[in-house]
Structure 1
Amino acid sequence: MKIDQISEIGIDIQGKLYIKPSSTRFDLIYRTATEVHWDANGLFLFSPKPREWTYLDWYRHIVNVVSNECGYRLILSDETTWTNIPEKLKRQIIEVK
């Protein structure tokens, strides 16, 4: 399995969670039909605004889809930027294995 670091995790102004990998592009991830999308301009993965799922659920879902469907493990690093992520959610994401 290939590994890429997460350079940024954030919640945008529309309330969608996004994850920006350091170098890998996932242009075709829409084909997985999992509600995980790729923004070609911003170079990040994103979810719809949460309805039934929490942001933590969406984080887990995105990294699992990338792992299972694309063969990449997205990992956090000390350089990961956190944008509009509440401290409690940040701690929860860091604890995800």
Structure 2
Amino acid sequence: MPDGVLFRTRDRGVFRPTAAIVFEIVCPSDESYATFGFYFDRGVEELLVVDPARRSVEWYVRGDTGFVRAAGSIVLGVTETELTAEIDWPGGLS
């Protein structure tokens, strides 16, 4: 189960049955990376993995056969660096 999802808006009644972006928050004994194949098979466009302990984010976009690391989101037009700077991380500033 993802920690969050973002859907695209509907285009004149066209239903998109899958999320544009899935958000996964890393925690101890987490299986975030193990779910990549599941999301790819269901047509998810991008994955965002957030690691609060490391205060980092990782973007992944669809490749030919699976998700590949990217510098940012094509859907949102934001980079990893920009997003990382905007997050109010637990425990104060990084």
State if a TM-score over 0.5 links the two structures. no
Which structure has more helix as a fraction of its residues? 1
TM-score category by the smaller chain?
under 0.3
Considering Cα pairs closer than 8 Å and 6+ residues apart, tell me whether 1 or 2 has the greater RCO: 1
Which structure: larger Rg? 2
